[in-house]
Structure formats: C-alpha cells, structure tokens
A and B are shown apart, each in its own frame.
Chain A
Amino acid sequence: MEYLLEVEGLRKSFGGVAALSDGRLQLRAGSVHALCGGNGAGKSTFLKILMGIHMRDGGSIRRRGMEVAYSTPAEALAAGIAIIEQELSPVPHMTVAENIYLGREPSGRFSGIDFKTMNRNAQALLDRLGFNVRPSQLMMNLSVAQVQLVEIAKALSHNAEVIFMDEPTSAIGEKEAQHLFEAVKRLKTEGKGIVYVSHRLSEIFQIANSYTVFRDGSYVGSGNLADIDRPGLIRMIVGRELGDEYIKTNAPSVVPGIEVSGLTAPGKIDDVSFTACKGEILGIYGLMGSGRSEIFNCLFGLDPTSRGRISVDGRNITIAKPSDAMAHGIAFVTEDRKLTGLNLTGSVRSNICMASLPELSPRLNMNRRMEADASRQMVERFDIKAARDTMPVSGLSGGNQQKVVLGKWFHRKPKILLLDEPTRGVDVGAKREIYRIICEFAEEGGTVVMISSEIDEVLGMSDRIMVMRRGRSAGIYNREQSNAQSLVHLST
C-alpha cells in the first residue's frame, strides 16, 4: 500500500536543543489522520519541516513513495502539500476570489486581470466543496470559520492532495466547527489525505480515522482510532506519571484572599465565580478561547465587566483600571510577555521598576539609587542571568525574561498573583525555578491564581482547579479528584 506521505525519523534541533528527535507519520489517501501531543511535543516543528519552512537535520520524507526535500513552502505546495495555519493570514480588503487566486490571477486583455473568469472559477470551486461563501464577498466581512473555509478552498485550488490543518477550531464556535467537519468529510471522500492537529479530543474522535502521538519531540505511537478509547489516547499524550518536577511546599489556609462572584463580560465570560484562599494556588484550565485569560483582564481592569463582585481580604472593591487593581495588591503576569509584559527596548532595570515608580520615587526627582537597588534585589532573588541590568531585556533568554516580569511584580510585594501561562516558552530548568518562586510566594501567605493550558502544570501546581469551557466555569475540583482525563473531558 502506497502512502500519500510517509515520514520517518525526522530530526531538528535549534541551537543545540532538540525540538524534534524522532518524527514519524503515515498518511493514507482518503483518510483523516490526527496528530496529537501536548505543548512542546514537536508538532509544529514537524509541520514546518514538511512545509519547507525549516530544514531537517535528519530523517526521511516520502511522497507517494518518492524521497522528497522541500526548501520553501512554494515547493511543498507545488508538490501538493498545503497547510492551513492556526494564525490565518487573509488580505482583508480583497474579495474571496482574489484571495484564493492571489499571485495566480488569470490574465485578461491588456495584461489586466480577468475578474470574470476568476470569479467563475472560484464559484465553481466553492460549489464543489459545498461552502456557503460567495467569491465577491470581502474577506473582512467573513467570520473566522468562513475564512478557514476559504483557506481550504485556496489549498485545493493548488490541487493539494495532502492538507495539514493546525488547530482549525481554536478560534471558532461549535456550530461553525460542524460546518468545517462537513468540509473535511467531503475532502476525505475525494481521496485527499488530511492531517488534523488539535487539542480537542472530542473532535478527533468525531472526524479522524487514525492517530499519531508525539511527546517531547518523539513519536510515541500510532494506530486506528477505532482501536483506542479516549482515556487511552490521553494517557499516551500525557505519558509519564508526574515526577518530582513539581514540589509543592505551600499549604492553603481557609482565609479567602480573593473572592469573585458572578463576573460577567458580554461575549467573553459569563457568570464566573471562585474563591482563592491565602496560601493557595488555584489553577484555571481551559482551551484557547474558553475565556480563561479574559477573567484576568476583567480582574485587572483591562476589560470592562457588566456584572460581578470582587472582594479582596473580605472587602468589596471596584476595579476600573490597572492601577486600581495594583492599589489592592493584585499583580498580573500576562500571557504573552513580549506583547504585553515587557518593554523589549528597555533595560532589565527599567522593566523591573516599571510598575513601581511612584513607590520608588515619591518626589519629582527620580531616586536612582532606589531603582538600582530594586533591580539588584530582584536580579539576585530570582537569579536573573544578565550581563548587566542596564542591558536591553530583549537580549535575555525566555526564562530570564519571564523572571524579569515576575521581578517587576514581586517588587510591589503583591498579595494576589494572577499568572497567565507563567512558563510559556520557558525551558525546563527555568520552569522549575518559576515553580519554586510561585510556591514560595504561596507559602508566605500569598494568593495565586494561575492559568495554564499545560495539563501537567495545572495538576502539579494547583491545590484546586477551575475548568473553563466556552466562557463559563465547568466546575472547581480538588487536586486529588482530578486527573488529566477528567480535565480534558470537562474542557471540551
């Protein structure tokens, strides 16, 4: 039996760190193949090598039995391999047809574009796929799901035979997802091979025939989905038992640190309530778009709320802007440090001091010694590795950058720490240090609320876990009651 695509022993390292050490995949025509794995399992590196974005260090890729090597996405596309990325990149002010045929417009008289033929071809393509999109619509007026469909149509207009879909449902609703699945089924009956990447296991069981699991950059196993049940697949993805990566030293008290009830922001979160006690780490688990980060944005005064009560230390408070939240002892380590956490052109010192300048310098003239002291304290406390604290923070590794963000907030001596993906893009060593910092903070009586999409991390660090699903809380569970299976199950 000839495979549409067969990959063996694919390897790739970045700066001495292996991102992928043994990537394997076998894709049959007329099938949907689920590629599963946690964050950092090597899935995206794998896809990028196949698309010719990264060069492989080793391994073989066979397309219909022929050994191939693509050095650009254009070559991969020409060989019938297309990818629909998680982050879509349409040209918003162009029509659907213009987007589909971007760079390949049929030419008309006087070397202009033959819009008539283009629209007719696009219409035929969309009809064949059963997509309810008109070629003359502007991309900017389409929903995210419709944009996904156009991307699929674009891939097929290149006569793609192998289609990678990377988390296609992460930004769309349930109903739109069902439309997408219809399209996927139609492609399957046309004999295409689809590699479907998703964290949502219920989807995988709904549309895929077979699966491959990666973990820590390596192939773990593969098979037919008919032969495995959901807990079995989760066990393969999560793998090892939780080792001593998470050393919990904190002991939760029964004194509430922050109480939230009925927090609502229209279209984002609906009626979210929880209490986190002093000395406790409350984990929040949920998929992208489940409303997990929006809770923090509301608590910190970045997003407006329509309803809800927040109390700190038993007293009701109102938060209209971040400085209100900060005045009540709340600190917020945001999800994306480069986007919202750090001033990358600024120095380590200026970043550490950024949130506490009024305290550092009550008078008009800055007290530079206090700034330098504050920075030195945090650099020492968190062991931030920087040549000088006056060097730009952009020159630091991800882990050290994250510690600068933590330093910025810890210098304020917060009572409540909101952490959104505190270890994203951070290597294992720095991760451990960050866990230690979080635990010590809770040990000393601080209140921690931590969002994470890494199951291991949520289970390993939290005393209790709130699961978010579609903007609502799906319940709060004790650490002892929960396991990977139950969290994934509740969140999807």
Chain B
Amino acid sequence: MSTENSSLSTWFGSEQRKLIIQEYGIFVAFLLLALVLSISNEYFLTAGNISNVLLQTSINGILAIGMTFVILTRGIDLSVGSVVALAGIVSASFATTSSTAGVPGAPYPALLALPVGLLVGIACGAIVGIIVSRFAVPAFVATLGMLSAARGMTLLYGGGRPVPALTPEFRWIGTGNILGIPMPVVLLAIVFLVSWWVLNRTRFGRYIYAVGGNPHAAVTSGINVSRLRLSVYVISGGLAGLAGMLLSARTGSALPQAGISYELDAIAAVVIGGTSLSGGVGRITGTLVGALIIGVMNNGLDLMGVQSYYQQVLKGALIVGAVMLDQKRNQGV
C-alpha cells in the first residue's frame, strides 16, 4: 500500500511537471531567447526595435491565428500565401489612383476597398471549406489546389503587373498608428483577443476542440461537423484577406508575387506554438508566441549580422526541434 502511494505521488509529481512544461514551455523558450538577445545586443530591447519586431510579426501572426483554427480541426490551409496576394491586389485595385491598374471609378474610399479584400479572402476560404466538408477532399489537396488557383487568379487579375499608387487613406491600415502603436500591431492584437475569446469562451470554440479531438464522437454528440469544418476555412481565408491588405498598404503597392510561401511560416508558428497537427490540442496564445519567436529570431540574427540564408536553416531546425519535443512529451503521457 505504502509503495503504491509513493509511486502514485511521484506519478502526480511528474504529471504536474509535464503539465507545466506543456503549458508554459513555449513562454520560457521565448523569454530565454529574448534574454540572450538583449544581453548580446544593446539595440534589441529599444522601443524602436520592439516595435519593429512586432510590425514584422503582425502579418505572419494574423495568418498563423487563422491557421490555428484550421489545424485544431485536423486540417491544414496551404492556400493562405496566395490568398494574401489575391486579396491584396483586388482590394488595391479599388484604392489605387493609377488610371491603368484600377477598376473603373477608382480610387474608392478605403471603407469600400477594405471589405472587398476581406470578401475575397472569405470567398476563397468558403470554396476550400465546401470542397473539404461536402466533398470530403483532404484539406491538403483542396488547399494545394487553391494555392495554385488563387496565385493564377492574382496574375490574371492584374495582368501580371503590380497595382501601385494606393491612396493614403487605404495605406493607413498598414502605416498609420493608434497612440503610437503601428496599425498592423493593433490589428494583430484585436485578431488575437477575439480569437482567444472565440476558442476559449464560446460554444464554437468548444466544438472546434471536440471535432479536432474526435470527429466521430462530435457527430454522435449532435455537432454539425461539416458546417464547423467549413467555417474554419472561412476564418482562415478571411484573415488571409486582411493580411493581404496589410501587406499592400504597408508597401504602397500590391505585388502579384506577394505572400509566396507565407503559409509555411504560418504553419511553423502554429507548430512551434505547440498545436498538434493531429488536431484537438493547442492554444492560440502558443501560436502568437510561436510567431513572435520566429520574428524575434529573425530580428536577432539580423542584428548580429547573420546572413539570411542561415536564418532559414535555423528556422527549419527550430520547427523540427519543437515537434520533436512535442512527440517526446506525448509519449510520456
């Protein structure tokens, strides 16, 4: 009896330890990285640089948050990079002062151009969502198709040329600021807070975890699984649309080759943030920190003057290392 008790208590001990690592490991990793960088480079902790890192993280952060919804339901969205470009160029064509690149009557007010970009993203997400949920096409294939199709539509739409000369009003969402905080960062914060609330405090959020954890059990519990699957792709598409407009607004013109391979950074942030690719497990906070880790690492390596090719190698190692830790952790349980 006494031996049972002691083994039980050590089991609980290790269980607690595991939980702590599981919950906070990513934060600890992030803080360590920041600490090392702030010691090795005095410029790192300046307000200007922090703002810069956040600005650089905002687009990937928004995409990664959308990706988290999809991955939590056992899906994947490879199309976000192309949707960024399509939404960016379509909305830009409504907000350009250029007489050749815009739609007839352009420039329209930003309040019209912005919803257009959002709608393009939502429409792309809805198409993918319907293909996945109604026709049971694997998400990998459906979104791979959209990756190619949306890129093609982007090139067709602009004739392969960029859409330049965006109105200052439109550019404000990328370059403006509120109380000194850059607009993209404000938008990332809003998207994060709303997503956190949706995933943690609404029925829809509960259903996402239930469907990702066991779709069969979700069906027998009366949950409309196919509608839920559709809606996560709509969310991801809509956020890709937002990110696309941010990108155009920041650079001042919409490029047809914008957003190439953005989906990989978004997936990387989700994975580093501890969300399981097999669904049902993960946190939106982890995703945000995952995106920040990527941003901080790139920034830190830039500051140290490390060539960008090395940065890619390191990022690759980081992704694989994070998942290796994840696997080890899961085996322990």
Contacts and interface: CB of A to CB of B under 8 A. Distances in A.
Contacts of A341: 217, 220
A401 to B, nearest CB: 12
Given A322-B221, A322-B222, A323-B222, A343 B201 contact: no
A344 B214 contact: yes
Q: How large is the interface on A (under 10, 10 to 19, 20 to 34, 35 or more residues)?
A: 20 to 34
B17 to A, nearest CB: 15
A91 B2 CA distance: 50
B216 A339 contact: yes
A365 B194 CA distance: 12
B328 interface: no
Interface string B175-206: 00000000000000000000001000111011
A332 B214 CA distance: 16
Interface stretch (A137-145, A186-194, A247-255, A356-364): A356-364
Q: Please provide the 3 A-B residue pairs with the shortest distance between their CB atoms, ordered closest to farther.
A: A343-B213, A323-B222, A355-B221
A319 to B, nearest CB: 11
B219 A302 contact: yes
A355 B221 CA distance: 5
A387 B9 CA distance: 12
Q: How large is the interface on B (under 10, 10 to 19, 20 to 34, 35 or more residues)?
A: 20 to 34
A357 B213 contact: no
B280 interface: yes
Interface of A: 300, 302, 321-323, 325-326, 332, 334, 339-346, 350, 353-355, 357-358, 361, 364-366, 368, 387, 392, 394-395, 408
A326 B223 CA distance: 11
B204 to A, nearest CB: 9
Dominant SS at the B interface?
A: helix
B216 A340 contact: yes
22 contacts: A321-B222, A321-B224, A322-B219, A322-B221, A322-B222, A323-B222, A339-B216, A343-B218, A344-B213, A344-B214, A346-B213, A354-B206, A354-B221, A354-B223, A357-B206, A358-B203, A364-B202, A365-B201, A366-B206, A387-B12, A392-B333, A394-B333
Given A322-B219, A357-B203, A358-B203, A343 B214 contact: yes
Contacts of A300: 220
Interface of B: 12, 197, 201-203, 205-207, 209-210, 212-214, 216-224, 276, 280-281, 333
A366 B202 contact: yes
B5 to A, nearest CB: 14
B214 A322 contact: no
Contact of A366 (B203, B218, B219): B203
A322 B220 contact: yes
B225 to A, nearest CB: 10
A149 B69 CA distance: 47
A32 to B, nearest CB: 39
Nearest to A362: B203
B108 to A, nearest CB: 33
A467 to B, nearest CB: 26
Contacts of A325: 222
Contacts of B213: 343-346
Contacts of A339: 214, 216
A321 B219 CA distance: 9
A350 B201 contact: no
B206 A350 contact: yes
A361 B202 CA distance: 8
A345 B218 CA distance: 13
A146 to B, nearest CB: 28
Contacts of B202: 364-366
A343 B223 CA distance: 13
A342 B217 contact: yes
B217 A340 contact: yes
Contacts of A392: 333
A364 B221 CA distance: 20
A322 B221 CA distance: 7
A321 B222 CA distance: 8
